Amino acid sequence: MPFTIAIDGPAAAGKGTISKAVAAHFGYAHLDTGLLYRAVGAKVLAGADAIEAAQALQAEDLENGDLRTAEVAQAASKVAVIPEVRSALVDFQVAFARRDGGAVLDGRDIGTVICPEAEAKLFVTASAEVRATRRFKELSEKGSDQSYDDVLADVIARDKRDSERATAPLKPAEDAVIVDTSDLSIEAAIAAAVAAIEAAGA
């Protein structure tokens, strides 16, 4: 029987880590919907048309090892404001969400647009400064020479673009449980998410 868990939130709030842990805990399939937009963004950077790339997207495109770069992240955020791109990717996400055996989807509009009927909804957030610190550390470990100030500016710009776009802006669903990870360890954040999902009937 399908049971959908929708996990939304801004970049570097911890939703990906929490989503993977929640999926493992409940034995559900997991989809990082941001990878759909990153895969389209990567194709655009390679010269493809955004709408055509979205319409032709295949599951194996999500396995591209280069989807986590800062350049692809910015391209993803830009293609995500194109209504035709979002429309092409909605069907992919909805079908995944209602698969038998349960599904966890994380993104920016899962609880509000993709799966408004999801059985459990979380909105994972943290302050821009905390998120920039996390992203800066992650990028530094990968050898990036971006400064903290540049990373913070990127986080703030992306938040603004994601929350102000006309189609499916980033915001918590009215019935979402807010999990603020600013002062939580990873373990505590995961525990809070699992407790909220269990309370929803998982």
pLDDT tens digits, 140-176? 998 888 999 999 999 999 899 889 988 888 999 999 9
> 4-199 in CATH: which number?
3.40.50.300
- How far is it, in rounded angstroms, from Cα 151 to Cα 70? 9
- Give the gyration radius of the chain's Cα atoms: 16
What the block records as the tokens of 129 is 């400064």
How far are the Cα atoms of 72, 121, 191 from residue 34, in angstroms, in the given order? 11, 17, 23
- Asked if residue 181 has pLDDT above 90, the reply is yes
Give the pair of three-digit tokens for residue 38. Answer: 């990153």
The whole-angstrom separation of Cα 105 and Cα 37 is: 14
Taking the complete model, does pTM exceed 0.75, yes or no? yes
Check residues 65 and 105 and name the one with the higher pLDDT. 105
Query: Which residues 6+ apart lie within 8 Å of 151 measured at CB?
Result: 132, 135, 136, 139
Binding site per annotation, positions: 9-17
As annotated, the binding site for ATP includes: 9-17
pLDDT at residue 69, as a whole number? 87
Supply the pLDDT for residue 2.
85
Q: Report pLDDT for 95.
A: 87
Q: How far is CA 123 from CA 19, 33, 61, 111, in A?
A: 11, 15, 27, 9
* Vertex 111: Cα angle to 154 and 122 (nearest 5): 75
**pLDDT on residue 165:** 85
Instruction: Indicate whether 199 pLDDT > 90.
Output: yes
